[in-house]
Structure 1
């Protein structure tokens, strides 16, 4: 596998920074907040177009944060570490628990280009016809992207008040389609509070606009951080001599957490563990659990 030239530092520094006036503004009206959310989304659009940003990895990590928020909405105690364990350490043929199912849904939602088919794959408990009906609530193109996402969010919650995670996936899918993005970018879940999920009409729209400003701030920061981390990994990748290392590195470039057992290209569990430890020694990966066994790694 041939790796693209690692971005030079000057290339990384061209990733645009979020203008401080977007987050420092004291907007109070719906019109003011919608202006700020639009500016934030325009900025994120530019960030996502930058070649140095590892978009699959960014979506994967944002999916974890969205799942964590959705699980918290239900009152369950699982947080990011437990969610990682449920999916990364899942054995073939096993099914994750309720919290892991939420994370799995978000991971599948961001994995493929957004469509009714891909959303049905992410939410097999919902039929494609029902998903299509909910997405149609966006008003057939009427209103701005965030307003359309809020309409879908409200429509799903009106029909099924306990399906917060499903509602947020479909709202973010609506947002992505309205903005012309190929994939779902999890944003709303990370900025909404549990009490916001019971709001309606203008109150819900206002909460969604405010959530976008908050979430885009974090997503843009994370995109820059991941761009620098993956640039370091790409720089050392050609020096890794283990057979199958190309495929292994690619997993680190696209997944939030990697279990050594998933690195089947390295042919043995011992080789995979040594490979992961080598990446940690080189400073291009981190061990994420703090455990001595059943470890997970990520950039």
Structure 2
């Protein structure tokens, strides 16, 4: 299974069932990785969150790269001003670090909206969270993926929120303890899937794309993101193994903690 097999031309020539099978295989492979529960998995999720934040920043017209975003957050005192781009990193860190089951509460949804520079009144936030709970409970995998983006657009919010919500809903569906930042790092691709560059619902109504086309594009993006996450996991595993081999030789009491954080 290779990401090259999911390029735009190939996706356009396949039926949604074929793309769904490929995406399901990629997510299945990712699920096996997640369930290993490696002690450095938090560092893995944080690296993916950083990548997603950098793409989110570019989409918002910011110039900060991953290094700048990391420094803005890690070198700022808790509660300090991390800047607009740094808030994007906080939004994706929230997804990667908080229990997946708690992410779609009104409090957390309101917080991530603020971090992403989006606004909804309290009533709209409550309605959005209700919609998401119903979406998670009453739809299949494909419908949930498409529905996450449609929900964001119904409330006039950018697609980056759709990507954030889709990642959370996937984690909850699969029973993961923490969500994995996937589609945020594919935001450019996700935005580009709508050929008319209009909201999904408007493009579908205008006939620019069929619902199946949109679903295929999202499934392909999710599969690519899953494969990328697995590749990063393998890279960090090699580095972590070397670091953990060194840990028993260190005499400092906090050596294990330092070694684990070094994987970041």
TM-score (norm 1): 0.69
For the residue of structure 1 that corresponds to 2:100, the secondary structure is coil
**Partner of 2:133 in structure 1?**
136
Structure 1: 5+ residue stretches without partners: 1-18, 257-299
Kindly indicate whether structure 1 or structure 2 has the higher relative contact order, using CA contacts under 8 Å at least 6 residues apart: 2
1:147 maps to 2:135 = no
Query: Matches of 2:160 and 2:149 in 1, distance apart?
Result: 10
Structure 1 range deviating more: 210-219 or 184-193: 184-193
2:178 matched residue in structure 1 = 183
Corresponding residue of 2:84: 98
Provide the secondary structure at the position in 2 that maps to 1:242: coil
Q: Does 1:50 align with 2:51?
A: no
Match of 1:206 among 216, 224, 230: 216
Paired position in structure 2 for 1:24: 5
Would the alpha carbon gap of residues 139 and 243 (structure 1) be closer, same or farther in structure 2, given more than 3 Å must change? closer
Distance 1:248 1:53 in 2: 13
Superposition RMSD in Å: 2.5
Mapped contact 1:123–1:166 kept (Cα < 8 A): no
Q: Which residue of the partner structure matches residue 219 of structure 1?
A: 229
Larger gyration radius, structure 1 or structure 2: 1
Tell me, yes or no, if the aligned pair for 1:59 and 1:110 is still in contact at 8 Å: yes
1:183 is displaced (CA, Å) by: 1.1
Q: Is the 8 A contact 1:110 1:183 kept in 2?
A: yes
**Any gaps of 5 or more consecutive residues in structure 2?**
115-119, 202-210
Q: Which has the higher helix share?
A: 2
**How many correspondences in the alignment?**
233
Q: Is residue 2:154 matched to residue 1:158? A: yes
Query: Which whole-Å deviations, capped at 9, do the CAs of 1:163-189 have from their partners, x for residues lacking one?
Result: x33332212111111122221111112
Partners in 2 of 1:228 and 1:187 — Cα distance? 21
CA offset at residue 59 of structure 1? 0.9
Q: Give the aligned partner of residue 208 of structure 2.
A: none
Contact 1:172/1:187, CA 8 A, preserved across alignment: yes
1:56-135, aligned counterparts within 5 Å?
56-116=42-102, 120-121=107-108, 123-124=110-111, 125=114, 129-135=126-132
Say which SS state the counterpart of residue 239 (structure 2) adopts. Answer: helix
CA distance in 1 between partners of 2:93 and 2:37 (Å):
22
Single out whichever of 115-124 and 150-159 deviates more from structure 2: 115-124
1:250-287 per-position Cα deviation (integer Å, ceiling 9, x unaligned): 3335xx3xxxxxxxxxxxxxxxxxxxxxxxxxxxxxxx
CA distance in 2, matches of 1:143, 1:118: 18
- TM superposition score normalised by structure 2: 0.78
Alpha carbons 2:99, 2:178 under 8 Å: kept? yes
